[in-house]
């Protein structure tokens, strides 16, 4: 028996969901580094390993689909027509329902409440009749309503509902091994065996000046045991900016508005004058010592020996040479900087993944700050937060987090890094905003390089990502060198 699965991605999205993912269909939404279509297909293949998979993007593709189905009209085939706004949330229950395809003698619709999640057809003839209704102008989900027989299906969730969609895509966090998130529709609980980290994140908020708390999601109900600590946060039905960014759903106008909000936050940070010596001590810890310590830590890891061979195939990606180039360009840029000796109360990592944003209300809220156990630990170098934003905007960090990059070897046996997004228009806007707000753009970019170098040992479990960071650092250094 041949099984054909038609994955229907023609459904319209609500305005709120379109705001998050732009023109993409549900099929191409990325969650935890995979497209939703891939999740659905991999689940169905557990019961029908030899299935033929057909995706329909538009109603205009139905004539071609009909021609393909007609080629199988004399065969014993079963067809599952599923709508992409449904996601398999409980595989065992959903697959048990889809196995009904083996036994039906007439079409059945699989209903989730009042809505239809999928339609099961016992043969090509009945499916072609269904397609005929669509070709006459009916929407597929309306044509499905004419099917008399139905059953209730469990194990699916309708992500066409905004709240469900937000909960689905906000599962796309790249937590370290010691973090876990759990919760319900209204709250999230973050817990970790790293008690100091959780406590410092909780304490950070409560140490902030009152008028800076506005920018952060409030943590409450701190709990601590011998083995772990946790705190609770309100679950805001907003997605993090990384999701919008990698789905390409932010135009230049919205991006400029967003940066205005970001730089309003940067200007709102409390600042205090400090001595030249104190400024240089903090800057050295962040941009020199941290890089050296992390590179040393990387080289001590047992996995490094394997990845070293890959990295050092080319002279231009040798780690020690990249680090030397970073320090050389850093000194050159800093020698020309007009430095204001001050410290600020910073978030510590306001990259897109740690920023929740609503376009309709222009609300920007930050999560996962660096943490502080004392008031003194709130203070940092004024450039650090800007560099963290830069590594999302210019460095495309969130594309690495979502595995949306490729590495190739060109005809000169050199590595090339390919990321499916050209940020040049956005970088121009970012550079203008940086300079309008009194920051040195090249200093921001060189400090951004320090972030990619410092992250290398934290991602040693993913050699592809480590090499990607190395190549990205190389590319940024080349950009800076041309600009300098």
Q: Does residue 241 carry a pLDDT above 90?
A: yes
Half-sphere exposure of 246 (CA within 13 A, CB side): 28
**pLDDT tens digits, 67-95:** 999 987 777 899 999 999 999 989 999 99
DSSP 388: H
Q: Does residue 313 carry a pLDDT above 50?
A: yes
Pick from 60, 55, 104: nearest CA to 81: 55
**pLDDT tens digits, 327-361:** 999 999 999 999 999 999 999 999 999 999 988 88
| Percent of the chain residues past pLDDT 70, beyond the cut | 97
Helices (H) and strands (E) in the chain, counts: 19, 22
Angle, helix 424-436 to helix 252-268, in steps of 10 degrees: 30
pLDDT for position 236: 83
pLDDT for position 33: 76
* Kind of pairing between the strands at 355-358 and 239-240: antiparallel
Identify the burial level of 181 via C-beta atoms within 10 angstroms of its C-beta, where 0-12 means exposed, 13-18 middle and 19 or more buried.
middle
H or E segment to which residue 333 belongs? helix 319-336
C-alpha to C-alpha distance for 396 and 417, rounded to whole angstroms: 12
C-alpha to C-alpha distance for 315 and 14, rounded to whole angstroms: 50
Banded pLDDT at 107 (limits 50, 70, 90):
very high
All residues at 6 or more sequence positions from 448 whose CB lies less than 8 Å from its CB, including other chains = 387, 390, 391, 394, 395, 476
pLDDT for position 172: 36
Pick from 249, 87, 264: nearest CA to 159: 87
CATH of domain 239-483: 3.90.1200
C-alpha to C-alpha distance for 207 and 366, rounded to whole angstroms: 16
In 160-240, alpha helices (H): 162-169, 195-207
Q: Does residue 414 carry a pLDDT above 90?
A: no
Least confident of 14-18, 218-222, 438-442, 468-472: 14-18
- Give the fold, CATH level 3, of 166-234: Phosphorylase Kinase; domain 1 (3.30.200)
- Give the fold, CATH level 3, of 2-161: Spore Coat Polysaccharide Biosynthesis Protein SpsA; Chain A (3.90.550)
> Domain residues of the chain, as ranges?
2-161, 166-234, 239-483
């Amino acid at each position: 028996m041949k099984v054909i699965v038609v994955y229907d991605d023609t459904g319209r999205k609500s305005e709120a969901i379109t705001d998050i993912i732009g023109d993409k269909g549900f099929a191409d939404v990325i969650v935890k580094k995979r497209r939703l279509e891939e999740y659905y297909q991999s689940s169905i293949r557990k019961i029908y390993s030899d299935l033929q998979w057909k995706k329909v993007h538009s109603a205009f593709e139905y004539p071609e689909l009909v021609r393909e189905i007609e080629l199988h009209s004399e065969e014993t085939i079963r067809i599952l027509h599923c709508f992409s706004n449904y996601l398999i949330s409980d595989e065992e229950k959903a697959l048990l329902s889809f196995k009904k395809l083996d036994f039906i003698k007439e079409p059945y619709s699989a209903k989730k409440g009042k809505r239809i999640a999928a339609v099961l057809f016992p043969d090509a003839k009945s499916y072609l009749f269904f397609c005929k209704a669509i070709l006459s102008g009916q929407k597929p989900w309306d044509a499905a309503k004419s099917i008399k027989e139905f059953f209730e299906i469990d194990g699916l969730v309708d992500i066409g509902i905004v709240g469900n969609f937000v909960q689905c895509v906000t599962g796309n966090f790249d937590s370290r091994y010691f973090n876990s998130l759990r919760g319900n529709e209204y709250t999230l609980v973050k817990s970790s065996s790293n008690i100091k980290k959780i406590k410092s994140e909780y304490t950070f908020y409560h140490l902030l000046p009152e008028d800076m708390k506005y920018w952060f999601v409030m943590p409450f109900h701190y709990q601590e045991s011998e083995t772990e600590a946790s705190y609770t946060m309100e679950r805001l039905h907003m997605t993090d900016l990384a999701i919008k960014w990698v789905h390409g759903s932010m135009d230049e106008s919205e991006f400029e508005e967003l940066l205005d909000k970001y730089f309003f936050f940067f200007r709102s940070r409390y600042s205090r004058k400090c001595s030249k010596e104190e400024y240089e001590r903090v800057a050295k810890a962040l941009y020199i010592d941290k890089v050296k310590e992390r590179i040393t830590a990387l080289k001590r890891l047992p996995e490094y020996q394997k990845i070293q061979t890959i990295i050092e195939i080319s002279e231009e990606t040798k780690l020690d040479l990249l680090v030397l180039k970073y320090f050389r360009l850093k000194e050159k840029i800093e020698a020309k900087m007009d430095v204001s000796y001050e410290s600020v109360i910073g978030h510590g990592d306001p990259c897109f993944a740690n920023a929740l944003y609503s376009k309709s209300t222009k609300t920007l809220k930050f999560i996962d700050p660096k943490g502080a156990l004392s008031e003194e630990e709130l203070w940092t170098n004024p450039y650090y937060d800007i560099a963290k934003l830069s590594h999302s905007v210019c460095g495309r960090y969130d594309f690495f987090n979502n595995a949306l990059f490729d590495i190739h070897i060109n005809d000169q046996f050199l590595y090339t890094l390919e990321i499916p997004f050209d940020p040049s228009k956005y970088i121009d806007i970012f550079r203008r905003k940086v300079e309008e707000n009194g920051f040195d753009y090249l200093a921001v970019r060189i400090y951004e390089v320090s972030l990619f170098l410092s992250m290398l040992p934290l991602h040693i479990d993913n050699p592809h990502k480590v090499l990607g960071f190395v190549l990205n650092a190389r590319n940024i250094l080349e950009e800076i060198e041309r600009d300098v």
